[in-house]
């Protein structure tokens, strides 16, 4: 069940820019949500320091040595902090079956290109923008989708288009897309909190 205000958990491997924007929106009263927990697989992640500075529980759970144990620790931590909806904010690890089972339909990720055309294993960061430009597409976009066991396969719940301009490079396209992501995530969560955007059946 997802209740209001949204009870959010964040997973980040680096700065977690979308997570930071979401927390800022909550603190400013622009989003009806509670930031319950920040988890990173990287103990030096800026996202952990940000969370601690904002009074949020922060935890490092490395995943490489024992992925199954990490998966179980992840679920234990999220459930013990009352997390109902998970936001991936630059989390560079695939979620395990325990987490995906417990939070089926309630894990959201933002992808820097149109899905399903420019998604899948290995399609992240600048690689997405390189592929968009190589295809000759006239527009790219930002997609927020539900996470399942396959990379970028889950249902897309929100999209925003980004024009591909003449002379664009992967770097210039990436900069425009990245600038949209944090605010778009905040807007999408606000719509979920208000009830104007429904998650797929079985997730709420």
DSSP calls for 102-154:
HTTT-EEEEESS-TTTT-STT--THHHHHHHHHHT-SEEEEEEEE--SSTT-S
Question: What CA–CA distance (Å, rounded) separates 164 from 133?
Answer: 8
Backbone φ and ψ of 6, nearest 5°: -60, 135
121 a catalytic residue: no
Backbone φ and ψ of 88, nearest 5°: -90, 125
Answer for the pair 128, 100: CB distance below 8 angstroms, yes or no. no
Annotated catalytic residue: which of 81, 111, 129, 145?
111
Q: What pTM value is reported for the model?
A: 0.94
CATH number for domain 6-194, candidates 3.90.1150.10, 3.30.360.10, 3.40.50.170, 1.10.357.10: 3.40.50.170
pLDDT attached to residue 204:
45
pLDDT attached to residue 197:
96
Secondary structure class of 67 (helix, strand, coil): helix
Place of tokens 């040595």: 65
Q: Which residues contact 203 (CB under 8 A, 6 or more apart)?
A: 2, 104, 105, 106, 146
Answer for the pair 6, 84: CB distance below 8 angstroms, yes or no. yes
Question: How do residues 46-61 score in pLDDT, each as one tens digit?
Answer: 999 999 999 999 999 9
Q: Which residues contact 77 (CB under 8 A, 6 or more apart)?
A: 37, 39, 59, 61
pLDDT attached to residue 201:
65
Flag residues of the chain having pLDDT under 50: 203-204
pLDDT attached to residue 3:
79
Question: How do residues 118-132 score in pLDDT, each as one tens digit?
Answer: 999 899 999 999 999
DSSP per-residue codes, 158-200 = EEEEEEPPTT--HHHHHHHHHHHHHHHHHHHHHHHHHTSSPPP
Question: What CA–CA distance (Å, rounded) separates 144 from 157?
Answer: 6
pLDDT attached to residue 101:
96
């Amino acid at each position: 069940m997802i209740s209001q205000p949204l009870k959010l958990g964040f997973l980040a491997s680096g700065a977690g820019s979308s997570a930071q924007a979401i927390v800022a929106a909550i603190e400013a009263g622009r989003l009806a949500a509670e930031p319950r927990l920040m988890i990173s697989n990287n103990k030096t992640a800026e996202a952990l320091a940000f969370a601690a500075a904002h009074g949020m529980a922060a935890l490092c759970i490395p995943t490489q040595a024992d992925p199954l144990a990490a998966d179980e620790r992840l679920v234990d931590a999220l459930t013990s902090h009352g997390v109902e909806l998970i936001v991936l904010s630059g989390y560079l690890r695939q979620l395990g079956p325990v987490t995906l089972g417990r939070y089926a339909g309630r894990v959201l990720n933002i992808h820097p290109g149109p899905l399903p055309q420019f998604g899948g294993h290995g399609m992240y960061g600048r690689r997405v923008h390189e592929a968009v430009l190589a295809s000759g597409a006239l527009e790219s976009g930002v997609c927020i989708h539900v996470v399942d066991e396959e990379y970028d396969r889950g249902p897309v719940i929100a999209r925003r288009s980004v024009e591909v301009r003449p002379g664009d490079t992967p770097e210039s396209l990436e900069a425009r897309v990245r600038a949209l992501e944090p605010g778009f995530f905040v807007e999408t969560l606000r719509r979920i909190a208000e009830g104007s955007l429904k998650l797929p059946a079985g997730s709420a």
